[in-house]
Amino acid sequence: MNKSKNLLWNRIGPLLMSMLLLLVFILSGCSPSPTISKSPEEGKKDELVLAVGMADYGMFDPKKTWGAIGQIRLTHSSLLKPTKDLTFVGDLAKSFETSKDGYTWTFKIRNDAKFSNGDPVTIEDVLFTYEMLKEDGIAFDLSFVDKIEITGNDTIIFTLKEPRSTFISQLSEIGIVPKHIYGDNYSGNPIGSGPYQVTQYNDGEQIIMDYNPYWYGDEPQFKKLTFLLLKEDAAFAAAKAGQVDICYIPPKFAGQTIPGMTLHVLESVDSRGITLPVLPSGRTGNINSNEVQVGNDITSHLAIRQALNIGLSRQGIIDVTMDGYGKAAYSIVDGTPWFNEKTVIEDGRIEEAKQLLADAGWVDTNTDGIVEKDGLKAEFDLYFPSNDQLRGDIALAVADQALGLGIKINIMGATWDEIFVQGKANACLWGGGRLHPHQLYTMYSSKVHNKGYNNMTHYANPVVDDYLEKAMYAATQEEANKYWKLAQWDGKTGFSPLADVPIVWLARVGHLYLVNNKVNIGNQLMHTHGYEFGLFGNITEWSINQ
Amino acid sequence: MSQKILMRFLRMITLMFGLSILTFWLLHLSPIDPVNAYAVSDTSMSQEQLEKLKEYWGVDKSPVKQYFSWAGALLRGDFGVSKLYRTPVINIIKSRAMTSFVLMGTAWLLSGVLGYILGAVAAMKRGKLLDRFIKWYSYILVSIPTFLLALILLLVFAVWLGIFPIGLTKPIGLANADVTLADRLRHFILPALTLSLLGVANIAMHTREKMIDILNTEYVTFARARGETSWQIFKNHGFRNSIIPAISIQFAYFSELFGGSVLAEQVFAYPGLGITLTNAGLKGDLPLLLGIILIASLFVFIGNFIADILNTIIDPRMKRGDIRC
């Protein structure tokens, strides 16, 4: 037996040894080859490696929604752009004006802008881009545009079917594409007029962007950007391996430190809240053209909504669910020029909330800890998308705190498809937040009842409707902002925490990035719902820390 | 033989046909509404946008009509255009299939060979330390989710030791033209290793069981009585008898490999068909989903076909028709 053992080993041994040797050979033979083309320690740093998520969303083509979450500032230019204080100024447009009645928008474009292939950006390109997207009609809503005309070689005039001050959102999000190059394969050859050009796109791996020498704005310090398309865990591992300069991280990783990198907590308008149907049950309506139940017998009571609004501790929820990396939210537009700052309230007032419920007739008669009124128990379902951990955590924290107020909330993890069936008859953990006020209209106007996924709570207040219309008809941003604020609270009514609260907004999620200590990411623009791109709004201002 | 191949070919055609109908029907029954899936990222979409979106996805047409327009195009060699990526399906598959198949093929081969060796050794050394170690190793591996193993390997080899890159198929920021074969190989090792390590457990345990059965047979006892060494027993009796089930299992395992590769691909940002397949399924991108499923099943079918041929070569009884596979 002993002999046979040796024989077996004699036969298999060399095989195993040779495999081992092969492995060692592969390891040693390859490791000296350069893995990273940059080295932070050497000389002048003009490249960045970024792991900020699925940065290829939209694949550089406005028709595939490139731009809708603020990506375009890297690769394209648009007629308008937002500034840090969120006023909208010309980018490609050197001047623009809106007619008094709000129907006609006129832009004169600059004549020094060029695409990354050297061709000038002409008024024809602008016209082509908008007409192409209007025709497509999916990525950007331009259905309210009646006609687009050009006069001379630098003027474009949009005539709208109805006034719409929030047109600024499309104007600042639609990247202009070259008419003579654009085609079905534009993603493979995305020529734009932004500070960078996409020089290589490895689908599912990385995007390499190089400085566009024809860029008409300030020359960026960093001439090459490499975006790694890594998920959170892998991105963090890459940062730990010292291979990236900027890495996005979820709050659960925020406690960990990486030498040479600093945690940046960036302010966002990326808000989370709970929608509370304002109508009693027994009606039907539509979500995305499907007939669904509308209304909820508990949340339709103002006292219940208000009790949650003043009783829940927003900071408490942020501490529990985001490790404190967030800010309390009182609307979906906190921190913007169209946010009514008077509507910030003090919350966590448990006793007052209980009193408010008691005054409205909600009393705990059977001592089960839950209040009742007319035999109706203050209990309702709160839906959240089960694949979204943050929303799940927030739902749990809300339910936990609500119990202390005598309100029982059952949290229901579901798919979006189910949420879009249950959403109008139950509470939902909702989210949003953009650099323009249009969501105020789609979430609170009664004109959009049963349209798409708008106004989930079926909120309707004639006074608010009036302000919202006036805001849409406004010819200037200042005037529009005035009405957006009045719609939130005019001293008597509104949809803010001071009045109707159809949606109790809870928190703005802080956007967390680990940034190489050598890199200065400047004074950031407000970040929006959707993680990846808020960071790059001011890319041309980024610099090296000395 | 040629008649057999022809029959197989016909069977493949009908399989593809049935499979496409089944997939189509299942996706139709699934609660996933592609319009919802698309709109999740922007719930402020206007009704006009949604109408256009529905028209674009073709969900306003009857499923039968949708199927025939898809199948008709396919017969002309047109896989259609992915709704999600707005790119011809065949381009997406082409760009990703090679990566995927090389990755899965290597993992499959490595795990098969290693797994078989480990299983055979474990059975020959039944009850000894080596056997216990192999068993322990296999049990741990089958219970580890792929993505966890991938992350652990990533952490150990890429972060702590720094011998392998953190992912991707090529170096960060390097132009395609400058990427060498050595670069690709280095990036290939970790994902391939992850998949191989996981595949080992399955085949090792099956081989071990089969080999133990063989070692308990009378002919092996007789061989031992004749004074054959362990190696001779393995060579003369064990190998041929245990390799056939091993091959069949390994070829059947191919479909599972697809599932595992999805997760490994995701962790290593190693773009292959796996990620694309899940995306297509979750977002209801019918043309893309059908395209990948057809290609993948073709692959699995060919795999099984090869297994049959190999078995025929190895086991003369099959050739004679004594037993049918």
Closest listed residue to residue A339, CA positions, set A462, A465, A436: A436
Pairwise CB contact (< 8 Å): A452 & B35: no
Residues 117-136 of A with CB under 8 A from B: 136
Pairwise CB contact (< 8 Å): A241 & B229: no
Structural domains in chain B, CATH included, are 2-75 (no CATH), 89-319 (1.10.3720.10)
Pairwise CB contact (< 8 Å): A37 & B162: no
* Domain termination residue (choose one: A187, A220, A253): A187
| pLDDT (0 to 100) of residue B27 | 82
- For residues A148 and A157, the answer to whether their CB atoms sit within 8 Å is yes
Pairwise CB contact (< 8 Å): A203 & B229: no
Pairwise CB contact (< 8 Å): B41 & A530: yes
More confident residue, A410 or B164: A410
- What is the number of H-type helices and E-type strands within chain A? 13, 25
Q: What is the pLDDT of residues B74-108, one digit of tens each?
A: 888 888 888 888 888 998 888 888 888 888 888 88
Instruction: Tell me which long-range contacts A258-261 makes (C-beta under 8 A, separation of at least 24).
Output: A258/A514, A260/A40, A260/A516, A260/A517, A261/A514, A261/A515, A261/A516, A261/A517
* Spatial separation of the C-alpha atoms in residues A35 and A440, rounded to whole Å: 48
Q: Mean of the pLDDT values across residues B9-24?
A: 88
Q: Which residue has the tokens 């600059």?
A: A110
Distance from CA of A12 to the nearest CA of B (A): 9
Closest listed residue to residue A531, CA positions, set A71, A84, A220, A138: A71
Domain assignment of residue A543, yes or no: no
Domain assignment of residue A286, yes or no: yes
Interface contact B130, partner A, CB < 8 A: no
Pairwise CB contact (< 8 Å): A453 & B189: no
| pLDDT (0 to 100) of residue A30 | 39
| pLDDT (0 to 100) of residue B118 | 92
Local confidence band at B320 (pLDDT 50, 70, 90 cut-offs): low
Interface contact A451, partner B, CB < 8 A: yes
Domain assignment of residue A529, yes or no: no
Question: Does A179 share its domain with A43?
Answer: no
Question: Does A415 share its domain with A476?
Answer: yes
| pLDDT (0 to 100) of residue B322 | 56
Pairwise CB contact (< 8 Å): A202 & B163: no
Closest listed residue to residue B195, CA positions, set B243, B153, B249: B153
Exposed/middle/buried for A34, CB within 10 Å: 0-12, 13-18, 19+? exposed
Q: Which residues of chain B have a CB within 8 Å of the CB of A238?
A: 158, 166-167
Q: What is the pLDDT of residues B205-253, one digit of tens each?
A: 889 999 999 999 999 999 989 988 888 888 888 888 888 888 888 887 7
Question: Does A22 share its domain with A139?
Answer: no
Interface contact B46, partner A, CB < 8 A: yes
Q: Chain A to chain B, count of Cβ pairs less than 8 Å apart?
A: 189
Question: Does A17 share its domain with A165?
Answer: no
Question: Does A353 share its domain with A477?
Answer: yes
Domain assignment of residue A539, yes or no: no
Range of the domain at A108: 62-187
Local confidence band at B53 (pLDDT 50, 70, 90 cut-offs): confident
Interface contact B284, partner A, CB < 8 A: no
User: Which domain CATH number covers A208?
Assistant: 3.40.190
| pLDDT (0 to 100) of residue A38 | 41
DSSP symbol at B155: I
Distance from CA of B325 to the nearest CA of A (A): 31
Domain assignment of residue A231, yes or no: yes
* Spatial separation of the C-alpha atoms in residues B221 and B230, rounded to whole Å: 11
Pairwise CB contact (< 8 Å): A3 & B229: yes
| pLDDT (0 to 100) of residue A37 | 40
* Domain termination residue (choose one: A245, A264, A283): A264
Interface contact A391, partner B, CB < 8 A: no
| pLDDT (0 to 100) of residue B241 | 85
Find which of B45, B95, B194, B267 to mutate to test the A interface (most A CBs within 10 Å of its CB): B45
| pLDDT (0 to 100) of residue B321 | 61
User: Which domain CATH number covers A130?
Assistant: 3.40.190.10
* Domain termination residue (choose one: A138, A158, A187): A187
Q: Which residues of chain B have a CB within 8 Å of the CB of A56?
A: none
Q: Mean of the pLDDT values across residues B21-50?
A: 82
Nearest-Cα residue of chain B relative to residue A28: B163
Interface contact A145, partner B, CB < 8 A: no
Question: Does A259 share its domain with A285?
Answer: no
Antiparallel, parallel or unpaired: β A427-432 and A271-275 = antiparallel
| pLDDT (0 to 100) of residue B218 | 92
Question: Does A400 share its domain with A349?
Answer: yes
Domain assignment of residue A481, yes or no: yes
In this prediction the ipTM stands at 0.81
Q: What is the pLDDT of residues A516-540, one digit of tens each?
A: 999 999 999 888 887 667 788 888 8
Q: How many CB atoms lie within 10 A of CB A146?
A: 12
Domain assignment of residue A536, yes or no: no
Question: Does A458 share its domain with A347?
Answer: yes
Pairwise CB contact (< 8 Å): B49 & A438: no
DSSP symbol at B217: S
Pairwise CB contact (< 8 Å): B154 & A234: yes
* Spatial separation of the C-alpha atoms in residues A334 and A330, rounded to whole Å: 7
| pLDDT (0 to 100) of residue B274 | 78
Nearest-Cα residue of chain A relative to residue B268: A234
Question: Does A477 share its domain with A371?
Answer: yes
Pairwise CB contact (< 8 Å): B45 & A452: yes
User: What spatial distance separates the first Cα and last Cα of chain B, rounded to whole Å?
Assistant: 14
Question: Does A433 share its domain with A503?
Answer: yes
Interface contact B91, partner A, CB < 8 A: no
Question: Does A337 share its domain with A285?
Answer: yes
Interface contact B90, partner A, CB < 8 A: no
Question: Does A240 share its domain with A140?
Answer: no
- For residues A56 and A226, the answer to whether their CB atoms sit within 8 Å is no
| pLDDT (0 to 100) of residue A532 | 64
Domain assignment of residue A544, yes or no: no
pTM of the model: 0.84
Six token digits for residue B55: 């028209």
Domain tally, chain A: 3
Q: Which residues of chain A have a CB within 8 Å of the CB of B41?
A: 65, 68-69, 530
Q: What is the pLDDT of residues B259-280, one digit of tens each?
A: 777 777 878 888 888 778 888 8
| pLDDT (0 to 100) of residue A142 | 94
Stretches where chain A sits below pLDDT 70 are 1-44, 531-532
Antiparallel, parallel or unpaired: β A88-90 and A408-414 = unpaired
* Spatial separation of the C-alpha atoms in residues A483 and A494, rounded to whole Å: 11
Q: Mean of the pLDDT values across residues B303-316?
A: 79
* Spatial separation of the C-alpha atoms in residues B319 and B288, rounded to whole Å: 40
| pLDDT (0 to 100) of residue B23 | 87
Q: What is the pLDDT of residues B130-140, one digit of tens each?
A: 999 999 988 88
Pairwise CB contact (< 8 Å): A234 & B175: no
Interface contact B231, partner A, CB < 8 A: yes
More confident residue, B27 or A291: A291
